[in-house]
Amino acid sequence: MQMIFAVVQDKDVARLSDRLIKAGIRATKLASTGGFLRAGNTTYMIGVEDSRVDEVLAHIKQSCRAREQLVTPLTPLGNQVESFVSYPVSVQVGGATVFVIRVDRFEQF
């Protein structure tokens, strides 16, 4: 058995949830926040048999896409913490960050 953790941008959550439900794949969704952009994400926890890992990864790939977004980070000007200069920077957001971890033991009560 494998545990798949998929961190997905909120814009892609509905599409991925629909695909997983149609495929009969059970998942637990957790609200999460990204550290860099401080934007909302959803982290899926999906426990599946080894034979279904590639299927789940395919659903994630087809549902989640990367996109460019302009953000305005606050950067300090000189050594003074009080003075900040902000300018827009283009960053890639979206897609999914996925971790696949072997599960040695699984119990359900």
What pLDDT does 79 receive?
A: 58
Give pTM, 2 decimals.
Answer: 0.76
- Whether residue 83 is contained in a domain is answered as no
Of all residues in the chain, the percent with pLDDT exceeding 70 is 73
- Whether residue 108 is contained in a domain is answered as no
Residues in Cβ contact with 65 at an 8 Å cutoff, skipping those fewer than 6 apart: 12, 94, 95
- Whether residue 89 is contained in a domain is answered as no
- Whether residue 77 is contained in a domain is answered as no
- Whether residue 52 is contained in a domain is answered as yes
Structural domain for 56, as ranges: 2-66+94-102
* Structural domain count of the chain: 1
Model confidence pLDDT, tens digit, residues 87-96: 777 666 678 9
- Whether residue 73 is contained in a domain is answered as no
Q: Beta strands 74-77 and 28-33: pairing type?
A: unpaired
Give the residue among 52, 51, 47 at the shortest CA–CA distance from 6: 47
- CATH number for the domain including 35? 3.30.70.120
